[in-house]
Structure 1
Amino acid sequence: MSETTTARRRTVAVIVALELVLVALGFGVAQQVEADGAAERTPVANLLGPDFVDIRSVPSGPSAPATAPGAATGTYTWDCGRNENGHRNTANIVMAPGFPGQAHHVHDYVGNVSTAVDSTPRTLAVAATTCHNGDRSTYFWPVLRTVGQAGTDPTGAPGAGATGDATSHEGHDGEIQVPVEVTLTYSGNPRGNVVAMPQQLAGTVGDAVALTNGGAHAAATWTCSSTPERRTTAYPACPPGDRVLRIYDFPSCWDGRRTDSQNHRAHLTFPTREGNCPRNTFPVPRLRLALSYDLPTGVRFQIDAFDGQRNSPLTDHAFFVNLMPDPLMAKVVTCLNSGQACREG
């Protein structure tokens, strides 16, 4: 065998060996990239399904309407706690006063500590409150539970899955999640000044039976802490490190006469996208109630809902009944109409 042939074979062997090394290295890098990508995707992917949406795929909502000269541009924020005292029950003093609700549709409360099935305007007006500024109003919404964690709820609340057996209603036996933060904010109106809310004014946002009645009153309440401008009617799959948010923007155009109405909506309606109140209505302070939950990434969750609503996120909703003392409401109105950013508690 000639020296030339031997050298050529050695060269080919070295090239083949180098190619094998490069292929192995490339395969290892590809595996690592794939693993890293899977690690990033898995927590979100675990939540995707008919009721969940990746919040990164949700478009931002419309921009805020233009503000007219002299309009109420102020804000008033106050602290009513986050239901650390475990005030929960199935009552709904707005939709069905005096009647207990379904055992598997539990509400969380902040504000008035006496709100229950037997509440009356008189009992509510003299009760204590969790609000640091003396606001006796009641604010409530359906509890949020993690999925598949059956057992006794420490509060012993109705519908908390206390039996822990196979007969428990599916979707109602998970652990109730207490918000890590509850923020209440009143804002003004971009087209003019606001007037005071009357005592006992009731407000409704969302619809507890939206899944079966067409969803006309469903509200996009769900989002994540890093993307509050992206609102959806589905449960949000949030990026790692984000909190799950529920944001309730209540109607703020009052008919000037009633504190409630037959459908619990006609007396207090929403402004137009431009911020105008419909004819023969008056702008009152607009309430935003925001709940923040610190949940492990990838853990499934759902709200308590009426039987037949499949715990659908579309049925999220909230209520308030205004019981702010008149001097405090006057303070709120002054703050909003004068363009101040006020905070108490």
Structure 2
Amino acid sequence: MGRNTRKRRMPLATKVTAGAAALALGGGGLVWANFYASAHEDGGHNRTKSRGAQVATINCPDVGQKLTKVPRQARRGVAKELALLDRQITDAYTRLAETRQAQAGDAGYVDNAILGPLKSKRTATLDRIGININRAGGTAPRDLGRFARCQGVPVEQPDGDDGAGQDQDNGQDQGGGGQDNGQEQGNGGQAGNGPVADDFIAIEDVQPNSRNLPNGLAANGDGGSTGSFTTECGTNENALRNSDNVIVAPGVSNGAQHQHDYVGNQANTAFASDEDLANGETTCRNQGDRSTYFWPVLRIQDGTQDIDQGQPGGGQDGNVGKIVAPTDVELKFVGNRTSDVVAMPRALRIITGDAKAFTNGLNNANTAWSCTGFEDRQVTDKYPICPEGSSVVRTSAFQSCWDGQNTDSANHRTHVDFVEADGTCSNGFQAIPQLQVRLVYDDIPAPRIENGQVVNPFAVDSFPEQLHKPITDHNDFINFFDEDLMNEMVDCINSGQDCQ
């Protein structure tokens, strides 16, 4: 079985205040709110600070990533319960945001009024997940209940010792002190849940070739299968968007709690079957490509609202501002540095990046933000501020090693993997064409940092508790190339041609 994560020494860095537990890695949801404390340690020096608005979080284990063995017939039922866990975190976030005064006046309020009830709800949901698995002939983990408890903790941005290290330092200097800056501002953003000034960096301040996440490794190179296949599917001119996710939360309306842009297949809803998708219309120029490509939308938080301001996935889930569609979408499949590639199976599902990377840590993060004219400078945990005449760019490189058997897996990770550093696939996996997605946005004005605050920021849609952090960017793909076109793609890549 292939790995679904890569070990790194860069967890979320934490700042421990009096009475707060250390941040547990692998958490599924950090919920930020005002949490009253009169003193804390800062930078190794004891200092007393009177603050009525100190940032705090709730850290809940991401149960979905821990369930690697779920019988097929139980997966839809388990997915619905996992979506309910996400909703429970969101509800806790909302309650935290609405009870700041009560928290300031009662040191036990968060534990008694928020964490306690949340644990009870999660316990019941986890019990149902276990029942679903056992009834389908599987064996549920005996200790599922240990994932019920959530912790209230303060948190900082991920440490910059790996990945975008240079970018992290620059961003903190620019923002006036990283976490302290965020505390003074609250959670920032038009809806009060991000982004903040420290989430942005001028692209000129990013060192070239500094991004070093292994997930960013391209599969192809000078050897092996050197060709490419480009498919043209438009820029979502149809404005097809919803807050579903048919991969992670099939059968659950608003399962993503944020809006996605779709190109390619037009039958995308949470309730679409494989047959629905196979028979759906497509925006792709080559009608043999009925694959679905989707990613969270970008919004400009300039005080305006979009049509979903009061709707699930939009304003109800903290996603506010004007949606901006990409002006250019490039979908390219490339080969492997050491071998030929094999055809992808019909209905293969791949997710790259992690919508909960701000709370889960960087194991599955795969973000690349840049600007046109500066694409040798990429950041993982900052939004770029592009100079005049330059446009925001988002790029994603998908996993390109497949286990040879499964089109999906229980946690949507373990059936595919990234190549090793030398370009090979490990654990008996087979090389498949690697999808690379490049999105360009000409219509995003550069945000400004004024007095430590960001003016007119843009941000990716996210789960509310993820605070619209750039590290949570992600991209999704379901393969519905017809057999002839898929074989044409494979032949093209293996023979070193560039086709479309």
Length-normalised TM-score, structure 1? 0.79
Q: Does residue 382 of structure 2 align to residue 225 of structure 1?
A: no
Q: What residue in structure 1 maps to residue 339 of structure 2?
A: 192
Q: What residue in structure 1 maps to residue 328 of structure 2?
A: 181
Q: Does residue 489 of structure 2 align to residue 324 of structure 1?
A: no
CA contact (8 A) 1:65 1:273 kept: no
Letter in 2 for 1:189: N
Letter in 2 for 1:301: F
Worse overlay, 97-106 or 84-93: 97-106
Task: Report the CA distance shift for 1:286/1:155 in structure 2 as closer, same or farther (over 3 A).
Answer: farther
Residues 87-127 of structure 1 show CA distances to partners (whole Å, capped at 9, x for unaligned) of 10011111111112358411110010011011001111111
Task: Looking at secondary structure, tell me which structure has more helix per residue.
Answer: 2
Q: Does residue 419 of structure 2 align to residue 267 of structure 1?
A: no
Residues 9-64 of structure 1 show CA distances to partners (whole Å, capped at 9, x for unaligned) of xxxxxxxxxxxxxxxxxxxxxxxxxxxxxxxxxxxx89992111222222314697
SS at match of 1:308: helix
Residue 153 of structure 1: how far off its partner (Å): 2.5
What's the % identity of the aligned pairs? Answer: 42
Letter in 2 for 1:239: P
CA contact (8 A) 1:66 1:274 kept: no
Length-normalised TM-score, structure 2? 0.55
RMSD of the alignment, in Å? 2.4
SS at match of 1:56: helix
Task: Report the CA distance shift for 1:308/1:186 in structure 2 as closer, same or farther (over 3 A).
Answer: same
Residues 267-292 of structure 1 show CA distances to partners (whole Å, capped at 9, x for unaligned) of 11000122111130010000001111
CA contact (8 A) 2:367 2:474 kept: no
Worse overlay, 312-321 or 97-106: 97-106
Letter in 2 for 1:153: I
Rounded to whole Å, the distance in 2 between the matches of 1:158 and 1:246 is: 25
Rounded to whole Å, the distance in 1 between the matches of 2:369 and 2:306 is: 27
**What is the aligned counterpart of 2:305 among 143, 151, 172?**
151
CA contact (8 A) 1:65 1:274 kept: no
Rounded to whole Å, the distance in 1 between the matches of 2:271 and 2:257 is: 19
CA contact (8 A) 1:159 1:173 kept: no
Residue 68 of structure 1: how far off its partner (Å): 6.3
Rounded to whole Å, the distance in 2 between the matches of 1:339 and 1:313 is: 35
Residue 252 of structure 1: how far off its partner (Å): 0.3
Residues 194-230 of structure 1 show CA distances to partners (whole Å, capped at 9, x for unaligned) of 0000001111111011111223211122111112222
Rounded to whole Å, the distance in 1 between the matches of 2:441 and 2:411 is: 31
Rounded to whole Å, the distance in 2 between the matches of 1:296 and 1:102 is: 30
Rounded to whole Å, the distance in 2 between the matches of 1:65 and 1:293 is: 25
CA contact (8 A) 2:258 2:314 kept: no
The equivalences for 1:1-345 within 5 A come to 49-59=197-207, 60=209, 61=211, 67=221, 69=223, 71-101=224-254, 104-134=257-287, 135-153=289-307, 158-161=312-315, 170=318, 172-233=319-380, 234-294=382-442, 295-298=444-447, 299-343=456-500
Residue 169 of structure 1: how far off its partner (Å): 5.5
CA contact (8 A) 1:86 1:155 kept: no
Letter in 2 for 1:235: Y
Task: Report the CA distance shift for 1:142/1:273 in structure 2 as closer, same or farther (over 3 A).
Answer: same
CA contact (8 A) 2:340 2:494 kept: yes
> Which runs of no fewer than 5 residues in structure 1 stay unpaired?
1-44, 162-167
Q: What residue in structure 2 maps to residue 40 of structure 1?
A: none
Higher gyration radius (CA)? 1
Worse overlay, 112-121 or 231-240: 231-240
Letter in 1 for 2:357: A
Rounded to whole Å, the distance in 1 between the matches of 2:250 and 2:239 is: 21
User: Matched residue pairs, number?
Assistant: 291
Residue 237 of structure 1: how far off its partner (Å): 1.2
Letter in 2 for 1:97: P
Structure scoring higher RCO (CA < 8 A, sep ≥ 6) equals 1
Residues 144-189 of structure 1 show CA distances to partners (whole Å, capped at 9, x for unaligned) of 000133334389975444xxxxxx665x220000100111000001
Q: What residue in structure 2 maps to residue 42 of structure 1?
A: none
Residue 297 of structure 1: how far off its partner (Å): 2.9
